[in-house]
Chain A
Amino acid sequence: MARILGGITTSHIPSVGSAIANELFDDPYWKPFFDGYPKIHAWLDEHKPDLVINIYNDHGLGFFLDQMPTFAIGAAHECRNEDEGWGLPALDPFPGAPEVSWHIIESIVADEFDITSCQELAVDHGFVVPMQLFWPGAPANPDMPRAIPISANTVQHPIPTLKRALAFGRALRKALLSYPEDLKVVVLGTGGLSHQLDGERAGFINKEFDLYCLEHIVHDPDKLTEISRMELVEKAGAQGTEFLMWMMMRGALGGDVTEITRNYHIPISNTASGTLLLECAA
């Protein structure tokens, strides 16, 4: 049977990719951010998951406004990274796990989440930056698990509610636990925390709200479902709505989790960065 080892969240700021390429790990600006990852590396090294579910939000590479799925599940043999407009070199493809993708799709649609399945889906920084952070050298890292992308819409309102995001994660958990083969799974929730790129309020960061979310997502995620979507925009910033991905991840972990490590740092680029590793009860 498949087993969920734990969940990891991280911000997925595009400039992290170039900071990694330039090895700025000890640079004074970057060090407080990169210091959040060694404990995660040690945990992944110890547990060596076979499969990573990468829950992220597409930023206008895989999807355009012509057809915008609220929840999309990748079912490709490989996840291709492409130029998203800035001319950065694309990473090599990440091996997929389409047979597991289809199991999840079957289970989650039976649970009445009417998702969009994608046999081709180009993945952007929201997907690849966390992979690079967790598995240095990704996808070439020898411990790189096979990957399934799940994207939620935060580009265009109406976005899903926090309650729905948490429920999606719980349905994902049910799907994974019913997979008949032995698989060790880790679930990522990427994006956030508070930030806003657009408008006269660009540069908005809200430490108090971020810390509230970090505190409650560990042991009382249902409390966070009381936050409305417009309240989330107001308090987390227009792009801080990416916290939805953290809620989806959290739903997949079940009730009993242990916090292994967390990091919170302001700023990286325009963003309050956050990282959290939660281990599931065995």
Chain B
Amino acid sequence: MRELLRVEGLVTRFYTDEGVVKAVDGSWFALEADEALGVVGESGSGKTVTALSIMRLIENPGRIESGRILFRGEDLLEKPEREMRRIRGKEISMVFQDSLSSLNPTLTIGAQIARVLKYHTRLTRRARWQRAVKLLEAVGIPEPAKRVSHYPHQLSGGMRQRALIAMAISCNPKLLILDEPTTALDVTIEAQIFGLIGELKDEFRMGVFLITHDLSVVASFCQQVIIMYAGKIVEEADVQELYGNPLHPYTLGLLRSIPPLEEEAERLESIPGEVPDLINLPPGCNFSPRCALTDERCWHEEPELAEVSPGHRVACHRVAVPVGVGEIHG
């Protein structure tokens, strides 16, 4: 396997009137080509900002402060905007969550797909349109020749999401970022969409960066998982390891809050408290105010992300780090 993406020490902040929001506060991770990486966390944990930072789509008052984003070995943060425009949509593509607001209401589906092709291919106008029809067919939209000239509001939510995916994969990107692609859809459609993404991933050999808050989706779809909390990665492991041997108290809390299928749960467990204010983060571990296992150290000293077993990293003072396995950075 080849390394497709490596993010090193990414820091993204938003300079608002209320203060500095530390949306992503030092992220380190890597993604292999044709691997699916799941990024899990509550709203405001920095998942989407991480994705937008990779695409260099952070807008004012946000700024990528430091770090490196190596895509196929080249640092995207060093690239001029012009070069980034060539990469966006062609090399790295992104599907957003709300398909209705993410599509231009005044252009037909076909026009929106053909427009992407116009910037990244040398196809003629006619060929672009034909390719748009083919793409709609590939994502399982019935009557693609008719749907291609429909406007977004004329399609159902599931169809629109498929159309958005068709647009995102139109130029065979190497990396596909999916930002909660199924939150607006019902469960059966969700399963269909993930089935489709899985097929496309294998067919086009794409790396997938999947943002979600749904751990069950990750279990069935991804090979590698990152758990984010308040702008930091708190745990990373492959799927089997994370579900079989979760270490961070926050990961444990997330896993416990999934309703069990077999036994009847009296009450669903939840993590007490709420996500901290990203402007006034607590000293020490960000999770300490909500954690049941805290000791003195957790309140004062920020835990580093450390490897506890090969491929399994966790940022927690209360998890015993085996002797000899050092920190992976810094």
Asked whether A and B interact, the reply is: no
Using a CB–CB cutoff of 8 Å, the interface residues on chain B facing chain A are none
Using a CB–CB cutoff of 8 Å, the interface residues on chain A facing chain B are none
